[in-house]
Amino acid sequence: MRRMHRRRFVQTLGLASIAAHLRLPSLAAAPSLLKPKRLAAGHTVALISPASATFESIEVRIAKESLEALGLTVRLGAHMMERHGYLGGDDKARAADINAFFAD
């Protein structure tokens, strides 16, 4: 454990007292968290695979049916079932899916 010398301690106290008198913006004044509206029946959601590949089509079907059971309309990415190594398609395909649904 590092020992604090008296001179270092006094310097630290001086800096602390100066910092206490500075008027720094309050954390409470930070902007509130921006949240989107809650999903409701009839809204459209997209299923894409922007990272790891989806190996089983049954998993996609289960996810789609589960979301549809909640009343949501589900659209699948054009490159949903592609594989490029362990990734869900090459970089351009994955980016195309993300950009297509954000643009929609």
> pLDDT tens digits for 76-95?
998 888 888 888 888 898 89
What CATH class is the domain 44-103? alpha beta
Q: What is the pLDDT of residue 29?
A: 59
Instruction: Classify residue 67 as exposed, middle or buried by CB count within 10 Å of its CB (0-12, 13-18, 19+).
Output: middle
- Mean predicted lDDT score pLDDT of the chain: 82
H/E stretch holding 44: strand 44-47
What DSSP element (H or E) covers 74? strand 73-76
pLDDT value for 72: 96
Q: 75 has which bridge partners?
A: 46
- Residue 60 or residue 25, greater confidence: 60
Where do the domains of the chain lie? Answer: 44-103
Task: Return d(Cα 25, Cα 28) in angstroms, integer.
Answer: 9
